[in-house]
Amino acid sequence: MRITKGERLFYAVNGTLLLLIGFLAAYPFWNIFVVSFNEGRDAMRGTIYFWPRKFSIEAYRAIFNESSLLHSTYISIARTLLGTVVGVVCTAILAYLLSNRELIFRRGILFFFIITMYFSGGLIPEFMLIRDLHLYNNFLVYIIPGAIGVWNVMVMRQFFEDLPPSLAESARIDGASELRTLRSIILPMSTPVLATIALMIGVAQWTTWFDTYMYTTGSQELSTLQGVLVKILMETQIQSTDPTQAARLEQSGSILTPEVIKMATITITTVPIVMIYPFLQKYFVGGLTVGAVKG
């Protein structure tokens, strides 16, 4: 079909605006990345936009020399791996059990789980519970309380329910146990939804800061990278609202500034995600649309 002049103009303007939006979404990351590779004192002169002015890896060297930061990186990795494995296993088993249409008291049991998505006890009682269960200052606080996300369970249950029921039926007739049926029949057909849920849990584990902030305050040992960032953030905050602070820092002499350390830490926490999500986005989007169709 012929394109009119007006349409051509529309497409051009639209494409340009989208370019601008894409730039706004991506540029802050690029800027942080670039500044993290610049010498700290020099970076305070500002106006670094697209490329480091005085290239330096001092900030990264400082981070990896400081054993506590390196340790936090290990904690972050450990909780992400372990948390994802535990989360996916628990979610899959529960979703499978709930997907059985014959299940006795099914409506009541579903209600029991779903209601917790819309009503919670709140921050204070949760804090008390964690303390009373001795999960406070305990690595397991990263793994156990979040082991089951009801939303994820419902997404996976939906997927299982849409599989042909005759498959599980025939496995059962052949004498396979419930867990055996799940492992050998259901799971091999469910890789898309498993990938989606694993990614959701993994990203949440990697990016959460709340449990570190709330439940491991007495133990430096357990701080995650996000926890470290929260701390840096709170410490450097005053600087961004008070001009006299920046000047004082400038006189202090060190080429490393808290600002570049912050940039480098942000870069370290962000790069893994930026690297994986473009390749796995169909799984993320898959989870979103499944959830949206039947919440």
Smallest distance from the beta carbon of 32 to other proteins, in angstroms? Answer: 6
Q: Does 12 bind other proteins (CB under 8 A)?
A: no
**Alpha-carbon separation of residue 186 from 1, 102, 155, 165, 232 (angstroms):** 48, 17, 15, 10, 46
Q: Which of 12, 15, 57, 254 binds other proteins (CB under 8 A)?
A: 15
Q: Which of 93, 194, 195, 255 binds other proteins (CB under 8 A)?
A: 93
Smallest distance from the beta carbon of 61 to other proteins, in angstroms? Answer: 20
Smallest distance from the beta carbon of 75 to other proteins, in angstroms? Answer: 15
Q: Which of 50, 65, 107, 119 binds other proteins (CB under 8 A)?
A: 119
Q: Does 55 bind other proteins (CB under 8 A)?
A: no
Q: Does 89 bind other proteins (CB under 8 A)?
A: no
Cβ-based burial of 122 (10 A; exposed 0-12, middle 13-18, buried ≥19): exposed
Q: How far apart are CA 138 and CA 103, in angstroms?
A: 37
Stretch 233-292 residues interacting with other proteins (CB under 8 A): 233, 236-243, 246, 259, 262-263, 266, 269-270, 273-274, 277-278, 281, 284-285, 288-289, 292
Give residues with Cβ within 8 angstroms of 215, minimum separation 6: 127, 130, 135, 136, 137, 141
Smallest distance from the beta carbon of 269 to other proteins, in angstroms? Answer: 6
Q: Does 123 bind other proteins (CB under 8 A)?
A: yes
Stretch 180-209 residues interacting with other proteins (CB under 8 A): 203, 207-209
Stretch 204-243 residues interacting with other proteins (CB under 8 A): 207-210, 214, 226, 229-230, 232-233, 236-243
Q: Which of 108, 122, 188, 253 binds other proteins (CB under 8 A)?
A: 122
